[in-house]
Amino acid sequence: MQDIMFYMFAALTIASAGVMVFSRSVIYSAVGLLFTFFGVAGIYVLLAADFVAVAQVMIYVGGILVLLLFGVMLSQRVTGVNMRTETLQTVPAAIVAVGVLFILFRVISKTEWLVKAKTTFEPTTAKLGTLLMTDYLIPFEIVSVLLLGALIGAAFIARKG
Amino acid sequence: MPVLSANHAVINALSILPTFSETLTNVLFMVLGAVIITGLAALLALVSVYLERKVSAHMQDRLGPMEVNTEIPILKNIGHGWAQTLADAFKLLLKEDIVPAAADKKLHLLAPFIVFAATLAAFAVLPFGRNLIPSDLNVGVFYLIAISSFVVVGIILAGWASNNKWSLLGAMRSAAQIVSFEIPASVSVLVVIMAVGSLNLGEIVEFQEGGIHRWLIWRFFPFNLLAFFIFFVASLAELNRAPFDLPEAESEIIAGFHTEYSGMKFAMFFLAEYANMFLVGVIISTLFLGGWSSPFGSFLNSAPFQVFWVFVKSFAIIFVHMWLRWTLPRVRVDQLMYTSWKVLTPFAFVSMLGVGLWMILIQ
Amino acid sequence: MLYNFATILVFLVFGCLFVGVNLLLSRLLQTRNPFPMKVSTYECGELPEGDSWIQFNIRFYVIALIFLIFEVEIVFLFPWAVVFKHLGTFAFVEMMIFIAILLVGLAYVWVKGDLEWDKPKQVPAQGLLP
Amino acid sequence: MSVGLNHYLFLAAVLFVLGLYAVITKKNAVTVLMGIELILNAANINFVAFSRYTDTDMDGQVFAIFVIVTAAAAAAVALAIVLNLYERLKSINLDEADSLSG
Amino acid sequence: MITSAILILLLPLVAFIIQIFVGKRLPRKGDWVSTGAMFAALALSVGIFIDAVAQYEPNNVLATATWDWINFGPVHVTFGFLIDNLTAFMLVVVTLVSSLVHLYSIGYMHGDPRYNRYFAYLSLFSFSMLGLVLVDNLFGIYIFWELVGLSSYLLIGFWFEKDSAANASKKAFITNRVGDVGMFAGIMILFSITGTFSFNEVFAAVADGHVGGTLLTVAGILLFFGAIGKSAQFPLHVWLPDAMEGPTPVSALIHAATMVAAGVYMVGRTFVLYTPDALLFIAYIGTITAFIAATIAIVQMDIKRVLAYSTISQLGYMMVGLGTGGYTAGLFHLTTHAFFKALLFLGSGSVIHAVHTQEMDEMGGLRKKMPITFWTFLIATLSISGVFPLSGFWSKDAILASALGFGMTHPAHMPIFVVLLLSAGVTAFYMFRIVFLTFTGEPRDKKKYDHAHESPLTMTIPLVVLAVLSVGTIWWGWVEHMLVKPELASYGSHVASAVEHAAEEHGVAHSAHTIAMFSSVVVATLGILLSAVVYFWRKISADAWAEKLKPIHTFLWNKYYFDELYAATIIRVTLFKSRLFAAFDLKIIDGIVNGTGRLTAAFSRLQGSIDLRGVDGAVNFVARFVGYLGSQLRGLQTGNIQAYIMMALFAVVLLFVFQQF
């Protein structure tokens, strides 16, 4: 049952990623991205990372995608639907992409991973909470500073523009 | 997983059906749950539409829809135009679905799907009774907030797909409104979570069982109440209702993002909106008003009554929503933003701080 | 835990199903008479003029930006809130620092006036904001 | 064949390459940003997959969260820059934004 | 004792310094300074001599003093004084003759433009001579040896405006140097073996056999080379006759009494070093020199040259004395010879002063004009010819006795005695020839004869004093007792032959002594008679015999053609070598230099061209290449970010592909 779910979500993700990459219009890419994020969230669920899945949905779909859509809206002069995004040097890019893909596949298949699979599905939120507060305290505080920086920076740039 | 075993036991007990393998029963039960909830959602939406028109009418000292009735004997004598919304539904079913030429056909079609699906997905987590939680998700509350962001995306897509600058502007405005009110809502929810110590809605309700005094609204006296109030206002804004119904305010930009929608797609948006209203009602009752726990402690606390209490509380909240719609004047956009960022958010953080300190000091 | 997510997925599917069935039903039953006038974009009755896009005020983007940053903050708050009971005051202080830093951001944005939402100046459709 | 670690890694690899392709070919800055988000997601899948399939308990997931957060911050700033770029060049096609001068 | 020795040494030095720097401004140009210093030194020396005589011990060491002079690493060179009987004798001889010469020069050099410098040189010479005598180590001797050579060079070439004087001084100095090289080699051999210079240590080393037989002989012979050079022995005697160019008192002091005696003194001081073969060598050289010099003296007309040759001959005698083991005889002859030869020179000086010419055929009959000079001159001549009561007889007789003794013990060496006897006779002959030619007979040059007058007192007093000393017969006993041959017994085995040689000789001495005495008297009288016959009574005419023995006469007249021989051999060879070197230098070295010059020029031109075309070419090429490369690469920098990512990824893929293979 679980495998079926994996293949389903994998197909969904890859299909939507394909839509995003190969679509002409930016909005279609955005929709593609939406379903990709949803697919990836599904994958996290299958990997028993429930908090991360929901966080993914919340931040990526609720936050970044909205932002991207806003960005698109604000930066499109061309009317309505036909917002073409031209592409350049597709052929060489395709070759290189396939090459990199080939490399990754070789690497993945070649190396033996220290696999010690877990079978149970426990809720992760509590553990994450404690971990964040103890082991990862410093990155936690640094992230706050990072966010502050990003906020001030982006606000400043947006306002200046 | 308590629910699972319970369902299993119930079915086997009924031995209506031959004993199925474990997974099949689960799937069967899930589908059953889903069907019930979807039907419930649709029904509730219609009821609340009817209720809305009746309440607003009576508030304005008029009768509201009275005429529409059926020939069916029992139902006939209910009177008061109870079938009005049913008639509307059928009307919309038959209405022509006009899709503007310049619109982006696919997105125009996709938008209602996303909105409604997201709203319905939220229903999966709502606790109607001790064992009547369709999906007893451990990260329940967090999931609810995440799902609301799906709606935002749907709205933006709807606005964009109809290729009408007014609808796009309306969509952007409503998106901005929902987005900016989501922060105070989330923070106030956080206050509750801090008190309860778990994201699972079932546990939140169990935390509040045992009489009205244990309801979260009264505990940690001022702060939870403040959180309740902030959440209530924020949810109003997220529903684009009442004082904050700027996007599809008649006097403003036509019908907001679903101006270009007609027929069944418009019905879907309308349905999603009222389902959302009911959803918010249940959430507020779960978080602050003790969910399925009866106000009288253990009395009237059996299974059917739990569902009863959930509906009573949520309809009470819906009533207040409606009530506010016809009392408070519409809010200007900048006032809207002001309330969200400069009033609700700070107070939400204050309440969080308060609860935190309260719990630290008491412990 | 997987079961719950499965139910959610089923709900999503049924949501789409419900919408799909209804739309299909309406498509079958509705009368179709699309003529240009009907399908033109709705401009409160007047003829639609100018393209459907108008230059948006940057304000929308800033709002989305602030929303994103605070949403991320909330994502971090949730696990903390969950284990708040079991953590000592030290965790509480840490979180307060975290929130304080981000409130500084809010204060900055507030002071800089990005939150005000002044009425967009009436600018002809084609014109660009200075 | 039960779904092992390699499946997730393959998926991540495909996503990564798609993202890469988008970043390289798309002229529209926003699409490039989307491509970057895709790449980051691919990385995240790897993180969570490793956290699940190897004995590092929760580190992978914590890291994934941090990646998500940083991606958010990055996207915010990037988009601000894109808008600024748009303000200046009246178009956000990356190939037109090739002059370093002010 | 030592302080007086130091004073003796320093007085002349101080006088020299004063004379050199402030001589001109002193009253009487400072001649009294050096003369006074000399007389003071004389007094001190006589004091030391009296001490020596008072103790009357054979070979006893009166006093020694050593100071550390050079010590670097293992080498410890000490410097000091050694005063024993031999030194006392020499001190007295040197200081006495020197002060008399000073006195004499006041008169003789009167009016000379460089009057003060003359006295300065005299003081320098006295200082170096005294130093040579006092010093206790070989290196010291060598140093003073050179100083003496230097001062003789200065004094010979005193009238340097005369070419003959300048040449003579150079000739003297060079011949001396040739001898000194040999001496230096000898010293260094000894030093290299024994590691020290001072006499007693070297003698001790020799005694206990450190020094090998042949090596010691070679060292001895080499040391003797120095003596040959300095004392004008056989091969290197040519410089002494020419040295007569210097002023007569100089000749008297240096070329009669002191400097030439230095060689003999040195041999005497280092007598123990000489192995029998070395002694034999010395003896033979001595005899040859004596015979040659004597024969040449016969034909010489210049009075000073005759005296010079007679000195060479007498030195030969001394060497034979030492060589044949007559240690005391040789040294005694040295002292006696110092006195009468000084007298002869000064006498001839006063004659020259009077007639202003050195040629004897322009003199004659001066007896009446210069009675004092004549009588003193006659006494000296008697003494040198070995007439009975005079000192000359005793010393010459002792030498002849030792030569005969040696001849008896080693019959093979009998000719030494015979030749010696013959030359003694010849000596008597030419000495009286001088007397007759100058003082008796008719004056050949009227004008000079009239002009001739007796020398002033300052010149005649020294003559008288010297005359008295020449007579002094009573010394022989002292000398014999005081200067006993150093105990040969202390020698090691290798000198055994010398030891037994002495014993024998002792036994034979008496018989040899008497025979020698008798034969010498006979020979002397014969010589005198022959000379009188030829020159006084003019029975036989000198010229006739000269005609008869033409070849012999011209041979003798030309001084055995030694000068010509040397000229022919050494000088021409040297000249030839110099010409060779010059040519070599000119052609080859200059050639090389010019060649390298031209080569460098050519090389630089080549290098220039390389630099111009090669390096500049390369640099320009590199610049152009880089420019071209740059322009090509500019294409890549499109500014398009995606192109960059593309390239980067392409590189990654390539890298991976290569990594596979």
Cα dihedral C103/C104/C106/C112 (nearest 10): 160
Tokens of C41: 């974009």
CATH number of domain containing A47? 1.20.120.1200
Check CB contact of D68 with chain A, cutoff 8 Å: yes
Same domain (yes/no): A1, A80 = yes
Give the C-alpha separation, E527 to E517, whole Å. Answer: 16
8 Å CB contact between B65 and B50: yes
Give me the residues of B, 74-133, that contact A with CB < 8 A. 102-104, 107, 110
Nearest to C68 among A48, A67, A80 (CB): A67
- Min Cα distance E648 → chain A (Å) is 10
Q: Per residue in E631-648, pLDDT tens?
A: 877 777 767 777 788 888
pLDDT > 70: percent of chain B: 90
Find the mean pLDDT for residues E223-252: 85
Place of tokens 């009468």: E340
CB contact under 8 A, D53 and A116: yes
Tokens of E608: 């220039």
Nearest to A21 among D4, D8, D21 (CB): D21
Give the C-alpha separation, E348 to A59, whole Å. Answer: 142
User: What DSSP character marks residue E560?
Assistant: G
Cβ-Cβ contacts under 8 Å for B233 (sequence gap 6 or more): B181, B184, B339, B344
Three-class DSSP category at E69: strand
Place of tokens 């929503």: B321
8 Å CB contact between E236 and E178: yes
Find the mean pLDDT for residues D12-21: 92
CB contact under 8 A, C68 and D72: yes
Strand partners for E76 = E71
Averaged pLDDT score across all residues of chain E: 81
Check CB contact of C61 with chain D, cutoff 8 Å: yes
Q: Which of D37-41, D81-85, E159-163, E485-489 has the lowest mean pLDDT?
A: E485-489
Same domain (yes/no): A8, A70 = yes
User: What DSSP character marks residue C55?
Assistant: P
Same domain (yes/no): A79, A148 = no
Partners of residue C65 in chain D, C-beta under 8 Å: 76, 79-80
Same domain (yes/no): A23, A81 = yes
- Residue A6's domain comprises 1-85
C-alpha angle E614-E619-E621 in degrees, rounded to nearest 5: 90
Q: Would the pLDDT of B292 be above 80?
A: yes
Helical packing angle, E457-471 and E391-409, nearest 10°: 40
Find the mean pLDDT for residues E116-126: 88
Q: Which of A26-40, A116-130, B147-161 has the lowest mean pLDDT?
A: A116-130
How many separate domains does chain A show? 2
The residue of chain C nearest to residue B172, with distances taken between CA atoms, is C60
Q: Is residue A157 part of a domain?
A: yes
The residue of chain B nearest to residue C77, with distances taken between CA atoms, is B190
Write the CA distances from D20 to D26, D42, D70, integer angstroms: 10, 11, 19
The residue of chain C nearest to residue B26, with distances taken between CA atoms, is C3
For residue D71, what pLDDT is reported?
Answer: 92
Nearest to A80 among C51, C94, C101 (CB): C51
Find the mean pLDDT for residues E583-601: 82
Find the mean pLDDT for residues E556-580: 78
Nearest to E639 among D26, D27, D99 (CB): D99
Q: Would the pLDDT of B33 be above 50?
A: yes
Any idea how long chain C is?
130
CB contacts < 8 A, A to E, total 24
Q: Per residue in B177-235, pLDDT tens?
A: 888 899 999 999 999 888 888 888 888 888 888 778 888 888 887 888 999 999 999 99
8 Å CB contact between B65 and B82: no
For residue A60, what pLDDT is reported?
Answer: 92
Tokens of A31: 């929709």
8 Å CB contact between E269 and E199: yes
Find the mean pLDDT for residues B124-143: 86
Q: Is residue A100 part of a domain?
A: no
Give the C-alpha separation, E537 to E520, whole Å. Answer: 24
Q: Is residue A160 part of a domain?
A: yes
Check CB contact of E656 with chain A, cutoff 8 Å: yes
Question: Checking DSSP bridges between strand E75-84 and strand E61-72, what pairing results, if any?
Answer: antiparallel
Chains that touch D (3 or more CB pairs under 8 A): A, C, E
Q: Which helix (H) or strand (E) holds A39?
A: helix A26-46
Find the mean pLDDT for residues E655-660: 82
Partners of residue E642 in chain D, C-beta under 8 Å: 23-27, 32, 94-95
For residue A35, what pLDDT is reported?
Answer: 93
Check CB contact of C91 with chain A, cutoff 8 Å: yes
Residue D7's identity, in one-letter code, is H
Q: Is residue A39 part of a domain?
A: yes
More confidently predicted of E455 and B255: E455
The per-residue DSSP string of E449-498 comes to: HHH--PPPHHHHHHHHHHHHHHH--THHHHHHHHSPPP-GGGS-GGGHHH
User: Ramachandran region of residue B244, left (φ > 0), alpha (ψ -120 to 50) or beta?
Assistant: alpha
Q: If interface means Cβ-Cβ distance under 8 Å, which residues of chain D face chain E? A: 20, 23-27, 32, 94-95, 98-100
CB contact under 8 A, C36 and B101: yes
Q: Which helix (H) or strand (E) holds E62?
A: strand E61-72
Q: Is residue A115 part of a domain?
A: no
For residue B293, what pLDDT is reported?
Answer: 83
Q: Would the pLDDT of E240 be above 60?
A: yes
Q: Is residue A95 part of a domain?
A: no
Domains within chain D, CATH numbers bracketed: 5-89 (1.10.287.3510)
Rg of chain C in Å (alpha carbons): 25
Q: Is residue A5 part of a domain?
A: yes
8 Å CB contact between E269 and E200: no
Q: Per residue in E459-469, pLDDT tens?
A: 888 888 888 88
Cβ-Cβ contacts under 8 Å for E631 (sequence gap 6 or more): none
Check CB contact of D37 with chain A, cutoff 8 Å: yes
Same domain (yes/no): A64, A12 = yes
CB count in 10 Å sphere of residue A123: 18
CB count in 10 Å sphere of residue B18: 5
CA atoms within 13 A on the CB side of E622: 5
Place of tokens 């100071």: E67
For residue E506, what pLDDT is reported?
Answer: 56
Nearest to E638 among D23, D26, D98 (CB): D98
Give the C-alpha separation, B98 to C33, whole Å. Answer: 9
Closest C-alpha among E74, E321, E235 to residue E562? E235
* The domain boundary residue, chosen from A61, A85, A109: A85
CB count in 10 Å sphere of residue E518: 11
Chains that touch C (3 or more CB pairs under 8 A): A, B, D
Same domain (yes/no): A75, A129 = no
CB contacts < 8 A, A to B, total 69
Nearest to A31 among B110, B138, B148 (CB): B110
Same domain (yes/no): A68, A9 = yes
Find the mean pLDDT for residues E429-435: 85
Strand partners for A38 = none
Same domain (yes/no): A5, A76 = yes
CA C123, C125, C126, C128 torsion-angle sign: positive
Closest C-alpha among E532, E526, E529 to residue E436? E532
- Min Cα distance D67 → chain A (Å) is 10
- Min Cα distance D99 → chain A (Å) is 18
pLDDT > 70: percent of chain C: 71
Tokens of B139: 């990260």
Q: Please give the ipTM for the structure prediction.
A: 0.63
CA B3 distance to own-chain centroid: 23
Strand partners for C60 = none
Find the mean pLDDT for residues E350-379: 80
CA E516, E518, E522, E527 torsion-angle sign: positive
For residue C48, what pLDDT is reported?
Answer: 53
Write the CA distances from E619 to D78, E605, E607, E609, E616, integer angstroms: 47, 20, 16, 15, 5
8 Å CB contact between E105 and E118: yes
CB contact under 8 A, B198 and C82: yes
Q: Is residue A16 part of a domain?
A: yes
For residue E330, what pLDDT is reported?
Answer: 83
The residue of chain E nearest to residue D98, with distances taken between CA atoms, is E639
